[in-house]
Structure 1
Amino acid sequence: MNTDNPYQVNVPLDTKPTPPAGYRPLEGPARFMNIILKSNAGAGVLWIITQVLLLVTLYQISSGQAGSFNYMDAELNAPDILVAVAGLLIALTYLASIIGSIVWIHRAHSNLPFFGARQLRITPGWAIGWFFVPIALLWKPYEGMKQLYQASKEPSAWKSAPVPGFLGLWWFLWIVTSILDQIVSKFSDRAQTLDEFLVLTYANIAVAPLGIILPVVYNRVIQEITKLQEERLESVDRKSDSRDGPEFQTGSQDSANVSPYGSGQDSFDRSDASGQGTSGSDASRTSEAHPGSDGSSSRFPSIDPSSGSKDRFGP
């Protein structure tokens, strides 16, 4: 005998409410970046281990305890393989971090008008694009991330919001690591003798810790800003009687009448705001920059055992 209730409706208990119009969720991209950046830091630890093993092998060769200095020799096969694996892991996680950063940065900046932030100087598209503009990439990306943090914390008065120290630390590490990696990369292209490879390996070991600290600090930047926006969304949700209430309509109505991107930007920002950021919907359609432009310090790490160059993170 069938005892099922014909009027019963099964409703999942763990369904999440649909995000309000104008808000782009950050939880997924932030979780992805958390995994990728931690994986990259782990690959950096493996890179140091491989360089130490390579250094030991090179010293054995120099003292006559091993074969000749020839990368075809069996003595160098094992270190070569480990260096190649570590370099490949760094390259893959770095590439994934670029893609994840583009998505997360654009979404996070696109949410600022929804929370009521106005007079913004950098649009979502340019928050990404500045990473690939020569010379400007030395400071403009930091300005974009600084604006993102401040406007996420205090949308109505973001210009006076305090900036945490870890944000400046992230940018300092990004600049220093990029410069040092380029120097090491240039030297690795010219290294030919045993002594030169010994110096190169020492340089790789010295620079590698920065490549571990940098993704950890960058991950904190991402998670903190994501937390700020999620907390603000919950605050708006509590104040609203429904998802169609005035609190959720304010951002879209204001964006339709007043551009969230104010005066005072440089010429590039003005053209971006006027051409693509004149409304909240236009800002979300701002074209995203893609990695690979000339002038960026982005360069994938070589899996050549003699090279340890691995510029990263931002994005």
Structure 2
Amino acid sequence: METVPTVDVALNPPPGERPVPDSRLLRGANTRAMVAIGVHGLYVAWLVALFAGEFIGYALPDDLVIQAADIGLSLGMLVAFLFWKWSAYRLAMQFSADPLESTPGWAVAVYFIPIANLWMPYTRVQEVREVLEDSGGALEYGRSAAPSHGFVLAWWLLWIFAPITVNLLGLGDPSGVSYAWVIGVGMTLASNLFSMALVLRMNEAAQQLAASRGAEVPAPLFG
């Protein structure tokens, strides 16, 4: 009678049966994830401080200072996120036994292509998520740490609609706090928190998958 493999063997095949990523690439992706989460965290703290000051009535910096800080932090977040995205896609290429649909460079470039940037960045993130989820990276509780399909979709909808909401409603109101201002800040906060969670969970899933294949993985970002 043929022996049926156990669940552990099916979920975690012996090292060598599937591609094992380079340890330097794992460390680089881990570092970029930490930077991306940190910069997003700074922006979240900035928004919370701005909201608290406006709501409580504290004196805020001049509008020019606020705009300069907002632009600087926003650019920093974008750069940090795209550096992480490049590393994440490159890792997915090493994890997957089959060729992916794009390259790390194009996975980043699609953010700057009009029209295509409305859906292609989302499909590239989903592609990485599927590789991490389907490539046998399940460890504790028998499943991968990769976010769900719905989580990635929610992240992308916030990524797209939060800036649109801010531009339509505005983040500031000279006469005080307004519903439009609260909605704009709330959407922006939600978008950034989802981005932080996305990076954290994707990075954790990649480290899980690498460990299950016998690769040397860096220390976790948190905990």
Match of 2:133 among 127, 138, 153: 153
Match of 1:49? 52
Aligned pair count reads 186
Match of 1:37 among 36, 40, 50: 40
Match of 1:296? none
Letter in 1 for 2:167: Q
Maintained 8 Å contact 1:170/1:214: yes
1:115 aligned onto 2:100: no
Letter in 2 for 1:154: D
Q: CA RMSD in A?
A: 3.1
Maintained 8 Å contact 1:24/1:108: no
Match of 2:211? 234
- Trace 1:55-74 onto structure 2 (pairs within 5 A): none
Q: Within 1, Cα distance between the matches of 2:38 and 2:148?
A: 25
Q: Within 1, Cα distance between the matches of 2:176 and 2:48?
A: 20
CA displacement, residues 182-221 of structure 1 (integer Å, 9 cap, x when unaligned): 2245x98xxxxxxx85499542232111111111111111
1:28 aligned onto 2:46: no
Maintained 8 Å contact 2:158/2:191: yes
Letter in 2 for 1:33: A
- Trace 1:180-195 onto structure 2 (pairs within 5 A): 180-184=165-169
1:225 aligned onto 2:205: no
Match of 1:4? none
Report deviation, 1:105. Answer: 0.7
Maintained 8 Å contact 2:147/2:198: no
Maintained 8 Å contact 1:36/1:93: yes
CA displacement, residues 227-270 of structure 1 (integer Å, 9 cap, x when unaligned): 111111111117xxxx9xxxxxxxxxxxxxxxxxxxxxxxxxxx
Match of 1:203 among 166, 175, 180: 180
CA displacement, residues 261-284 of structure 1 (integer Å, 9 cap, x when unaligned): xxxxxxxxxxxxxxxxxxxxxxxx
Report deviation, 1:93. Answer: 2.5
Maintained 8 Å contact 2:26/2:207: no
CA displacement, residues 111-150 of structure 1 (integer Å, 9 cap, x when unaligned): 1222134242232112111111111111111001110111
Q: Within 2, Cα distance between the matches of 1:27 and 1:137?
A: 26
Maintained 8 Å contact 1:44/1:86: no
Q: Secondary structure at the match of 2:101?
A: coil
Match of 2:149? 164
Q: Secondary structure at the match of 1:153?
A: helix
Q: Within 2, Cα distance between the matches of 1:45 and 1:21?
A: 37
Give 1 or 2: higher helix fraction. Answer: 2
Q: Secondary structure at the match of 2:94?
A: coil
Q: Within 1, Cα distance between the matches of 2:64 and 2:44?
A: 16
Match of 2:72 among 83, 92, 104: 92
What is the identity percentage for the equivalent residue pairs of Structure 1 and Structure 2? 20
Letter in 1 for 2:119: W
Letter in 1 for 2:80: G
Q: Secondary structure at the match of 1:237?
A: coil
Match of 1:124 among 104, 111, 125: 104
Maintained 8 Å contact 2:129/2:147: no
